[in-house]
Amino acid sequence: MRNRRNNGSSNLLLVGILSIVAFALVIVLLLKMTVFSNSGDDNPVSAMTTEKDEDKNADSEAEKAGVTGTLAENNDPEVLNDTFSEGITINGVDVSGKTVAEVKEVLAANTLDKPETPVKVSFSVGEENVEGDAGILSFGTDLDEVISDAYSYSKGESAGTNGSSFSTSLSVSDESVEQLVHSALDKYEQEPVEAYASGFDTETCTFIIEESQNGVKVDFEKAADAVREAFAKGEYDVTVPVEISVVEPETSAEFLRNYLCKVSSTTSTTTSESNRNINISLVCQKINGLVLQPGGQFDFNKFIGQRTAEAGFKEAGGIFNGALRQELGGGICQANAMIFHCAVKADLQIDTRSPHTWPSSYVEIGTDATVSWGGPEFRFTNTSDYPIAFHAYYANQKVTVEFYGRPLPDGMTIKLKGEEISRTPAKVEYTADPTMEVGKTVTERSSHDAIKAKAYKIYYDADGNEIKREEAFYSTYPMITKKVRVGTLAPDGTTIFKLNKETGETTPPKGYVEPTPTPDPNEQQEPEPTKKPKKPKKDETGEGGESGETGNGEGSGEIGEPEKPEVTQEPENTPVPEVPAEDDDNEPVAAG
């Protein structure tokens, strides 16, 4: 009885253990089926799957369903070792029961990735035939995409285009086709050449116009499409007709000849100073005939260059520290001012302009423009769509600058007008000169008032009516104090008079006695003529006119002292005529 009981207990224990093991195996199998099984869904989903995980799995489903290249790039052993269903063929090869990895290996060795026959592409351009460089082309096969499609079909997720039969095909990259087309046909495309002004004839005042030329347009896109279509049909020896068209220029030579004209002109009178006029004439010669293309900038200093004797410039009046002195190139500012006026009247962009130290006499106040080497600059830009030509000349103390180019719209004209807005009288600075006699003065620098001025750009219609005016330029002319040197040396040659620096008057020191001029002993003194005394009338004397006294009036008979010679004050030195010129605070500059 005891043995039976022991055997029963052992059997029960064994059954319990086996039951636990079986239950554990069931759980493991269930988990495996839930997580890893492909039945029902290609992507196993666990009981803990979240919404985010479902989105990922959905993307994976789409990839396996035929997204290009997905299968080829997927190295997951579960996918590569999965097998195709029965009845699937690719390129005539039965892949039933084969794994994805096996199919890839077999087909990769037997699938062409380039045409079997030589590729030859020619282009027919008019009567000319041009062969393209086929070596540029980059071919490839869609094997990975086809395997992916077949795999998806095998899993019942998509239908094949030919049922269960799939075939690969060759393809060529779009980029390589475009390179092929352009390498062969770029030389045939030409941009049209617009008519343009290459120069200016200063004798006839007409532009030298170069003729326009037609351009050629190649339809590259259509040629590339034709190449792709031929390859898609398996045609690799093809001649593609190329479409070309003529592109006419927008501007003709005839149009320019009839359109371009004189657009502005400015003339002013020069002085009689020969060297100054030579400098002005030299500037005119340099700029005469210059053509400034659209967008080009004229820079006076860069174009004219440094004013040197070797360049032909002469010495003429120039401003240094507010005073005139002789400088190479004096007077050229007058020619520059004519250019400035023409540019404004032609409605072009003024980039840089500076006024002189004092207003110029040859243009209205506020409308001058100074230049100097290393100092003030003048620049303007041709902001029109057409060339601007300079016509400049000097003759008979007249300097003229003209601009030729496009006319202003609707017969409009522009004028530049200056206006003084304030003036502060200049001061006088007197300095004593103990080496110069009293009464004499020397003006070392002339005075100029401090002035502020505006220049207006005024627009007129074809009938001369003002359309609008705009404040264009502002000028400030600094005060130039007059400098006068006053003599303070007394006539005795030793005494120094005092100078009133406010008025310029001189006064002798206390106790000073003006010396009496000594007569020249060698000079004969003429005695003062005397008159014969009149005889008194009898009725005018108490004793019948016998007094005998000489009267002390006109006829005194005395010889008076000789008159002192008159000390005359010499007139002040006449200052050099002021010709507005270039200026610089510290360096000598050429005059304008």
Report the alpha-carbon distance of residue 577 to residue 269 in Å, rounded: 16
User: Does the pLDDT of residue 34 top 50, yes or no?
Assistant: no
In this predicted structure, what is the pLDDT of residue 438? 93
How far, in whole angstroms, is CA 496 from its chain's centroid? 63
In this predicted structure, what is the pLDDT of residue 529? 60
In this predicted structure, what is the pLDDT of residue 461? 96
Percent of the chain with pLDDT over 70: 72
25 and 151 in a common domain: no
Number of domains in the chain: 3
In angstroms, what is the C-alpha Rg of the chain? 55
For residues 458-472, give the mean pLDDT.
96
The answer as to whether 372 is a domain residue is: yes
213 and 91 in a common domain: yes
Token look-up 């002195």 returns 325
In this predicted structure, what is the pLDDT of residue 116? 77
For residues 51-56, give the mean pLDDT.
44
247 and 114 in a common domain: yes
Percent of the chain with pLDDT over 90: 55
Token look-up 């890839």 returns 104
Angle between helices 220-232 and 174-185 (to 10 degrees): 130
**Which structural domain range is residue 31 located in?**
1-36
Task: Give Cβ neighbours of residue 58 (< 8 Å, ≥ 6 apart).
Answer: none
The answer as to whether 390 is a domain residue is: yes
- List C-alpha distances in Å: 590 to 71, 193, 308, 575, 581: 84, 44, 10, 20, 7
When mean pLDDT is compared across 36-45, 234-243, 556-565, the lowest value belongs to: 556-565
Task: Give Cβ neighbours of residue 314 (< 8 Å, ≥ 6 apart).
Answer: 274, 275, 276, 278, 279, 328, 329, 330
User: Does the pLDDT of residue 381 top 50, yes or no?
Assistant: yes
249 and 268 in a common domain: no
206 and 164 in a common domain: yes
405 and 304 in a common domain: yes
In this predicted structure, what is the pLDDT of residue 419? 95
Q: Which residue has the higher pLDDT, 416 or 520?
A: 416
In this predicted structure, what is the pLDDT of residue 460? 97
Report the alpha-carbon distance of residue 431 to residue 481 in Å, rounded: 13
User: Does the pLDDT of residue 114 top 90, yes or no?
Assistant: no
In this predicted structure, what is the pLDDT of residue 29? 58
In this predicted structure, what is the pLDDT of residue 162? 62
pLDDT, tens digit, 9 for 90 and up, residues 94-103? 888 888 888 8
Q: Is the pTM of this model over 0.95?
A: no
285 and 242 in a common domain: no
User: Does the pLDDT of residue 489 top 60, yes or no?
Assistant: yes
398 and 271 in a common domain: yes
pLDDT, tens digit, 9 for 90 and up, residues 529-549? 655 555 555 444 343 333 333
And the tokens for 195?
Answer: 């008519």
In this predicted structure, what is the pLDDT of residue 581? 35
In this predicted structure, what is the pLDDT of residue 436? 94
279 and 224 in a common domain: no
In this predicted structure, what is the pLDDT of residue 115? 82
Residue 137 near residue 170 (C-beta atoms within 8 A) = no
209 and 334 in a common domain: no
The answer as to whether 488 is a domain residue is: no
334 and 462 in a common domain: yes
265 and 231 in a common domain: no
Per DSSP, what are the bridge partners of residue 431?
485
Mean pLDDT of the chain: 80
- List C-alpha distances in Å: 252 to 214, 385, 403, 587: 10, 14, 22, 50
* Nearest to 255, CA basis, from 202, 203, 200, 212: 212
- List C-alpha distances in Å: 148 to 55, 68, 200, 357: 21, 7, 73, 87
